[in-house]
Amino acid sequence: MPSFDIASKLDAQLMDNAINVAKKDILNRWDFRDTKSTIEFNKKDLIVNVSTENDMRLEAILDAIHSRMLKQGLDPRGLDESKAHYPSGPMIKKDIKVRQGVEKETSKKILKDIKDSKIKVTAQIMDDIIRVSSKNINDLQAVIALCRKGEYEIPLQFINMK
């Protein structure tokens, strides 16, 4: 029976490349000369650590990271920026977590949208992915089109089409 998985994962190597290029862009900008701004990416924990002097520079750094992610083919919605920045002495620090996997609430919303569409498929949550199966490949493609139109806070990938 044909099936595919709905996942939400960012490639760690592409993310590392985007962060490194954004770091070079920031360090070469004239308004960041002689500042103590740093951008670091922890590949193991998938966390981007940003520290700088003020809010304006923090916003400029986040904008540079987002633009580099788009140029690398990564969706900036994959970053969890909900955690507020915090002061650390004269610096402002922000930890940005890279989202991996589809969260339970989002999974339930996707399942509800699939069931409400009345497409003849079977969808089930499996840890951090959603497996969709059907007897007809056209139904699977209709589900993919439905998910692409949907408004979810995370980027979705459709993998393991069998």
The tens digit of pLDDT for each residue in 12-63 reads 999 999 999 999 998 888 888 888 889 999 999 999 999 999 889 999 999 9
Mean pLDDT calculated for residue range 109-138: 91
Q: Would you state the pLDDT for residue 132?
A: 93
Q: What is the mean pLDDT of the chain?
A: 91
Please give the CATH topology (third level) of the domain spanning 3-8+101-159: Alpha-Beta Plaits (3.30.70)
C-alpha torsion angle, residues 24, 73, 95, 127 (rounded to 10): -150
pTM: 0.83
Domain residue limits, the chain: 3-8+101-159, 12-98
Please give the CATH topology (third level) of the domain spanning 12-98: Alpha-Beta Plaits (3.30.70)
Query: Helix (H, G, I), strand (E, B), or coil: what is residue 120?
Result: coil
